[in-house]
Chains A and B, each alone.
Chain A
Amino acid sequence: MPLLEAHALFRSFGSTRALADFSFSIEPGEIVALMGANGAGKSTFVKIISGVLAADSGRVTFKDRNFAPATPAEASAAGVVTVHQSTDLVGIPGLTVGDALLLNRFVDRNQPFFVSRGRIRREAQAMLREAGFDLPVDRDFADLSAAERQLVAIARGLANKAELLILDEPTASLSATESRRLYATLLDLKKRGIAILYISHRTADLEALADRVAVLRGGRLVESFARPVNFDRAIETMIGRPLASARPDARTATGEPVFELSGAQLLPGSDPFDLAVHRGEVVAITGVLGAGKSRLLSAIFGNGSLADGEMRLDGKPYAPLSPRAAVDAGVAMAGEDRHRSSLMPAGWPGEAITATISLPHLHRWYPTGLITPRREREKAEAAIRRLGIRASGPNASVWTLSGGNQQKVVLARWEAEPGKLLLLDEPFQGVDVGARHDIITAIRSRDDRATLIATSDPEEAYEVADRVLTMDHHSLLQSRRDGDALPVRSREHAR
Chain B
Amino acid sequence: MKVTIDGIPVDVEPGTTILNAARQIGGDIVPPAMCYYSKLEGSGGKCRTCLVKVSKGSEKDPRPMPKLVASCRTNVMDGMEVQNITSPEVIEARKGIVEILLINHPLDCPICDQAGECDLQNLGFEHGAVKTRYEFDRRTFEKIDIGDKIQLHMTRCILCYRCVFTADQITDHRIHGILNRGDHSEISTYIKAAVDNDFSGNVIDVCPVGALTDKTFRFKNRVWFTKPVDAHRDCDHEKCNGKVTLWYKGEEVLRVTARKDKYGEVEEFICNTCRFDKKKTSDWVIEGPRKISHHSVISANHYEFKPLPVLKTNPQLMEKNKEQFERDTRL
A and B bound? Answer: no
Interface of B with A (CB < 8 Å)?
none
Binding site for B on A (CB under 8 A): none
